[in-house]
Amino acid sequence: MSTLAHTVSDTSTMLNRQLKHMLRYPSLTVMLVGMPVVFLLLFVYVFGGTIGDGLGGAAVDGSTGREAYLGFVTPTILVITIT
């Protein structure tokens, strides 16, 4: 088998193992989905007004405060979630 075939086979095996693990432990799946949502709500609605005002003015699209901070923190939380 070629290196590419081994890579695809190994990736498929690991994906199947992870999917079985997620089905076996549904609370883990809820945590994987729930924690980023909790972080987003916490950082935007609890800290967003204060931190958003401290970003130094309006964003590129003209939004200020919480809206500007939402545009800043959402991609950050998505990257942290994906990694």
- pLDDT for 8-55, tens place per residue? 999 999 999 998 988 898 898 888 889 999 988 888 888 777 776 666
Q: What is the mean pLDDT of residues 54-81?
A: 74
Domain residue spans in the chain? 3-82
- Return d(Cα 67, Cα 28) in angstroms, integer: 31
Who's near 33: CB < 8 A, 6+ residues apart?
Answer: none
What are the structure tokens assigned to 6, written together? 């081994």
Q: What is the pLDDT of residues 37-47, one digit of tens each?
A: 998 888 888 87
Record the pTM: 0.57
Is the CA virtual torsion 27, 33, 35, 38 positive or negative?
Answer: negative
59: left (phi over 0), alpha (psi -120 to 50) or beta: beta
Who's near 5: CB < 8 A, 6+ residues apart?
Answer: none
